[in-house]
Structures are given as structure tokens and as C-alpha cells.
Amino acid sequence: RLATVPTAPPDAILGLTEAFNADKNPNKMNLSVGVYKDASGKTPILNCVKEAERRLVDDESTKGYLGIDGLPSYREQIRALVFGDQLPADRIAVLQTPGGTGALRVAANFLVTQLSPIRIWMSSPTWANHPAVFSAAGLPTETYRYLGSDRTSFDLDAMLEDLNEKTSPGDAILLHACCHNPTGIDPTADQWKEIAKTVSERRLLPLIDFAYQGFGDGLDEDAAGLHTILSTVDEAIVCTSASKNFGLYSERVGAVSLVAGDSAAMKASQSQLKAIVRANYSNPPRHGGAIVAAVLEDAELTAQWKVELEEMRQRITRLRNQFVETMKSTGKGHDFSFLLPQRGMFSFSGLTRMQVDQLKNEFGIYIVGSGRINVAGMNEEKMQSLCDAVAKVLES
């Protein structure tokens, strides 16, 4: 029977990395997948993480199962990190999940099983895995406009028009809390207020994807949009990830946090979330959550983490600035200064699919077809050759 199974298309982003690995070009550059790299091209293990792991080796006394919702100390630390003291703890259920993707999947299953009929509205564009995860859970997806026609700015009016004219009360809306993937374009504080007002007036349920806390302007600054939303609605779901800000990509650690109107509603929803997890993967892996908890429970390790996170954030900003400057210096009036206000690992370059193909085929530079560039994958030493190549395809 398996002979009838057709081959699935390769993943749009991870498939590019396979092609990159096979490329023989010595100057090749992978700016597709969203992973942070340091100056030597490596994705480092943070020192605070190494130290936490050393302590875990000494102190961990069991590999017994965690509860369905994960490690209590991790859950408590994530609640504090994401929500601060804006809301009473008894309105928030936090479940440790396998990465941010696991959080999104649990959230999608919850929406379908508990709140149907429901649709989710996603920005166009959004992270390619969003529609895939939601559809796999049977959650119908719709899109609202996000990018302006220049493809380099945020069109708030278009977004609000779509929300006002197309959504139904009770629908869910996906929002990127910061570092919008793939565009790097975030709403300003005032724009967040307008979005929050519309979300509340239209009685939409916000599903906030917060995969990059600390990669935009700072830990608290990056949570500001989310707090604006939470100040106008009683109910929301927040999906977080420790993949980027703790560099724990392969440990698969994230969380789904549900905010309810009161404690009783929170407890009922929490019980449903746990039933969903039990039938999916039973309970989450311990190690990543234990690392995050060990760091955040220790003042010294937390201070170290903040320094290391800040270093990553500043490096990305430096590389983005350097790219803009170097493009300018190619002497052909290539003005990429629209990249400067963009935040996070990604920038929408405005390059067309044809230009992206040319960069790959002629120069071994791998960028996602939409023109999304992983700025965090750039490198000071290769900046000139990258910009020369981009200038060449822009002129051809």
C-alpha cells in the first residue's frame, strides 16, 4: 500500500538549507533559515545555558515524567517573563510545550475542539508554518492585509479595514508580538493601540505568537504590544518559544499561555489544554524547561542571560546597519534604509523571486523566495561580497 504514497514537496525554507548544504560554491551564504549565528558563523550555546546544564547534571535527581503541563518552576518563570504583574496569576494557565510550534499546535487544537465554529485571521504574509500548523489541526485560516504596496512598510489602514469588514465576532486573530516574521515590520505603540481597539470592538480572540522576546528592542519593550492588547481584552492565548532568546532550538522548549476572564474559566480551559496535550505527546520534554527555569530562578544567571541576549540583539542591529551602509557604497544608489526600522532576525528585502533565484544560482546566496533575509545569518567578513552580489542582480 505504501507504493501509492506520493512524495510531499520539500519544506520551503528547510528545503533550501538542503540545497545549500549540497552547493559546492566556497563563498556560499545561507540567509534563509531563522537561526542566529555569531561572527564565526556558529549558533552558539549561551554561557548561562552551559552553566545551568552543569548544575542540572549535579542536581537533577530523576528523569521521571513531568506533569502534562510541564515543569512548575518553568511555567511560573514564563508567566512572570511574558505577563509581568499586569494580570492576576489565577487568570493565566501556562503549559510547557515542545517549542513555539508545539504551543501553536496545542492552541489550534484547543480553538477547534472548544470554540468552533471559529476561523483564524493571519497577516499576509506570515511565517509559512502558521497556515500549515493551523490547517493540520483543522482550523480554517483567513488572511488580513499587513504590508503596504511598496512591500516595505506596514499598512495599518488596510489591516483594520479587513478586520472591520471581514471578521466575525468570536473569530481568532493571529498577531506577532514583535519581530514580525517574515517582514521584520512591527506596529508602533500607537498602532498597537488602534489594533487593540479594533480587536476588542470586533470581539476577536487574540492568538499572540511571541517567538522573539528580546530580539527586537529588549525584553520589556518587546512585550509592550502584547500588554496593550491584554489591557483591552479579557481573553487571549500567547505562544512563546525559548528557541531564539535562549538559543535552545533543538531542546524544543516553549509555552502556551491562556488568559481567561476569571479563575474558574481559566481552570476549565486549562483542563481542556491538558487533555489535548495528553492525546498528542502526553507530556513535554524536561531538559529545555529545566534549563530556562534554572537560569531565570538564579539572579546571577539571569543577569548573564540578559547580557548574552543583548549581545545577540545588538549584533543583529549592527549587521542590518552594515548591510544598508555597504549597499549604499556599491555606488549605484541602492538605498535599503527602509530596513533600518525593521526588527528581529528577519528583513523583507523587496527582492523579487527572480532576483532571489539569481542570487542562489550565480552567487550561492540562499534567500527565501519572498525576499525574506535572515539578517542574523549575515557575516561582517562576507558583507562586501553579499552586497556586490545583490547590487549585480538589482542591475541585471
Catalytic annotation, residues: 127, 209, 244
Least CB distance to ligand PMP at residue 292 (A): 12
Looking at the Cβ atoms of 99 and 225, the one nearer to ligand PMP is 99
Residue 243 near ligand PMP by CB under 6 A:
yes
Residue 214 near ligand PMP by CB under 6 A:
no
Please state, in angstroms and as integers, the Cα–Cα distance from residue 131 to each residue in 86, 126, 139, 255, following that order. 31, 8, 9, 19
Looking at the Cβ atoms of 35 and 89, the one nearer to ligand PMP is 35
Residues 6 or more apart in contact with residue 233 via CB below 8 angstroms: 196, 199, 200, 205, 206
Helical (H) or strand (E) element with 94: strand 92-97
Q: Which residues pair with 174 in a beta bridge?
A: 207
Residue 34 near ligand PMP by CB under 6 A:
yes
Looking at the Cβ atoms of 119 and 180, the one nearer to ligand PMP is 180
DSSP 282-350: SS--SHHHHHHHHHHTSHHHHHHHHHHHHHHHHHHHHHHHHHHHHHHHTSS----GGGTT--SSEEE--
Least CB distance to ligand PMP at residue 128 (A): 9
Residue 127 near ligand PMP by CB under 6 A:
yes
Residue 213 near ligand PMP by CB under 6 A:
no
Looking at the Cβ atoms of 141 and 243, the one nearer to ligand PMP is 243
Residue 256 near ligand PMP by CB under 6 A:
no
Residue 30 near ligand PMP by CB under 6 A:
no
In the region spanning residues 46 to 105, those forming contacts with ligand PMP, defined by CB under 6 A, are 99-101
* Three-point CA angle 117, 123, 127, nearest 5°: 100
Burial class (CB in 10 A: 0-12, 13-18, 19+), 173: buried
Helical (H) or strand (E) element with 164: helix 156-166
Residue 254 near ligand PMP by CB under 6 A:
yes
CA distance 277 to 286: 15
The residue within the footprint of ligand PMP, chosen from 69, 209, 222, 251 (CB under 6 A), is 209
* Three-point CA angle 133, 138, 143, nearest 5°: 65
Looking at the Cβ atoms of 105 and 360, the one nearer to ligand PMP is 105
Nearest CA among 379, 280, 388 for reference residue 29 = 379
Residue 241 near ligand PMP by CB under 6 A:
yes
The residue within the footprint of ligand PMP, chosen from 137, 211, 365, 390 (CB under 6 A), is 211
Looking at the Cβ atoms of 167 and 181, the one nearer to ligand PMP is 181
User: Residue holding cell 534563509?
Assistant: 32
By CB under 6 A, the count of residues binding ligand PMP is 12
CA distance 301 to 308: 10
Residue 181 near ligand PMP by CB under 6 A:
yes
Least CB distance to ligand PMP at residue 99 (A): 3
Least CB distance to ligand PMP at residue 49 (A): 15
Residue 396 neighbours by CB distance under 10 Å: 9
CA distance 176 to 172: 13
For the chain, the distance separating the N- and C-terminal CA atoms, rounded to the nearest angstrom, is: 50
Least CB distance to ligand PMP at residue 330 (A): 30
Residues 6 or more apart in contact with residue 111 via CB below 8 angstroms: 118, 120, 137, 139, 172, 205, 207
Residue 308 near ligand PMP by CB under 6 A:
no
Least CB distance to ligand PMP at residue 325 (A): 27
Looking at the Cβ atoms of 184 and 254, the one nearer to ligand PMP is 254
Least CB distance to ligand PMP at residue 222 (A): 13
**Which grid cell sits at 263?**
479563575
Q: Where does this chain bind ligand PMP (CB under 6 A)? A: 34, 99-101, 127, 176, 181, 209, 211, 241, 243, 254
